[in-house]
Amino acid sequence: MFKWIVGGLATFFSIRYLSRLQRASTNITSRIRVSIHKVNLTGIELKAAVQIQNPNPVTLKLQHPFVKILFKDKLLGSSTIENSIIEIPEHSEKNFDLKIQSAGWLTLIQILGTKVVSDIRSGAPIELKIQTQIITRVNGLPYEQFDNIILKL
């Protein structure tokens, strides 16, 4: 009888802990800022500043974020994949600076058009409505967030 009570209590606390972790992973917030870092012969290099906040009373384990930059649902560029786990203590935040290499100029011309690409190459002021996607895992659960932002040059 004692084994059943101990087993029941262990199951109860395990389920409670796992549900807290799941709830905590859905409560995180993320922000992203994207800017053009440099324009070179192979394409444009973007810089993404990702801020992930943990408002929960529990420490979260986060896989290093992966960022995609999209324009009208077509991929402009993405960050590199890093297989590392980062801990975010309770009620704190982590900042990540990611370099995003875009596709080559030919692909950019196909996605953005010749006028926008020539404006980027010449340094003329432009505003692009892009979509960002942050992909990571929080406590082993997948986390994705889409944001629509304006990229200015």
144: left (phi over 0), alpha (psi -120 to 50) or beta: beta
Please report the pLDDT score of residue 16 as a whole number: 61
Tens of pLDDT, residue by residue over 58-94, are: 888 889 999 999 988 888 888 988 889 999 898 899 9
- SS3 for 148? strand
Domain coordinates in residue numbering, the chain:
2-152
Query: How crowded is residue 45: how many other Cβ atoms within 10 Å of its Cβ?
Result: 15
* pTM for this entry: 0.76
What are the E-state strand segments in the chain? 29-40, 43-54, 60-63, 66-71, 74-78, 85-88, 92-102, 127-138, 141-152
**CATH, range 2-152:** 2.60.40.10
